[in-house]
Amino acid sequence: MSREWRLPIRPHGLPGTLIAFDGVVGSGKTTTTRMTRAYLRACGQTVRGYKLPSRELKASRWFKEYSADPFGSVRTGAVDPLAMCCAVLGDRLMTVRTRILPALRAGRVVVVDRYLFTPLGELLIHRVPAETRAVVEPLIACFPAPDLSVFTTVSAQEASARVRRRAAERDDPLGLDVYEQRVDAFRRLALSNSGLLLDTTRGERRTFQDLIPHLVGGAADVRSRSQVG
């Protein structure tokens, strides 16, 4: 299987700016997303934030079963990787069409936690052939390409340790192999699609300092400042 997967997505061509964050759980993705929204608002920009997938999808039986045991649920046939990918892409596309695109047309800065790349990373960890990936590419092409794609990353060991330090997730059932393959999948997607790999090992503040140059003077800054107010 090719290690590259260049996605068939195109610039949205709208007045607003789309910033997407993806990364393995425990990589600091949600924290960095939250800091980005706060920073841009402090700069006077109008920001819309979205966290995907929808609560309705996350409440489904198969989603919960997969989340608890990604490899086991696929191995037993309880979850099919291709069907799962299509379902979660469709769920995201509903939000894109009904909320994100209108915000971009209005010139807003849209910051998304877990965008298009997250379900595709899940497809990659199951080592599906190129023919299977090609099945979802027409659906992928319906998504607007982010102006900035940020992939937060740490080692699999660090991600797992961070999750287990959370009071509600001390009994995290995911094995280290799941983290290792997800970290690798996100790295591959980032390198194949001009994404920014943001190492969060040094902590929240220093990580965000590394991100700021990509927000100031980049697409997120130049395109949205003219839309302030």
What is the value of pTM for the model shown? 0.91
The CATH architecture annotation of domain 14-225 reads: 3-Layer(aba) Sandwich (3.40)
Of all residues in the chain, the percent with pLDDT exceeding 70 is: 93
Length of the chain, in residues:
229
132: how many CB neighbours lie within 10 A of its CB? 15
Question: What residues form DSSP beta bridges with 20?
Answer: 112, 149
Burial of 31 (0-12, 13-18, 19+ CB in 10 A): middle
Nearest to 146 by CA among 121, 98, 114, 122: 114
Averaged pLDDT for residues 189-216: 92
CA 21, CA 1: separation in Å to the nearest integer?
Answer: 26
Q: Residue 225: is its pLDDT beyond 60?
A: no
Q: How confident is the model at residue 3 (pLDDT cuts 50, 70, 90)?
A: low
Q: What is the pLDDT of residue 170?
A: 74
Question: What residues form DSSP beta bridges with 48?
Answer: 110
**Mean pLDDT over the full length of the chain:** 91
Q: What is the pLDDT of residue 132?
A: 93
Q: Residue 220: is its pLDDT beyond 60?
A: no
CA 217, CA 89: separation in Å to the nearest integer?
Answer: 31
**Structure-token match 């990580």, residue found:** 207
Q: Where are the domains of the chain?
A: 14-225
pLDDT of 23-58, one tens digit each?
999 999 999 999 999 999 999 999 999 999 999 999
Q: What is the pLDDT of residue 166?
A: 84
Q: How confident is the model at residue 218 (pLDDT cuts 50, 70, 90)?
A: low
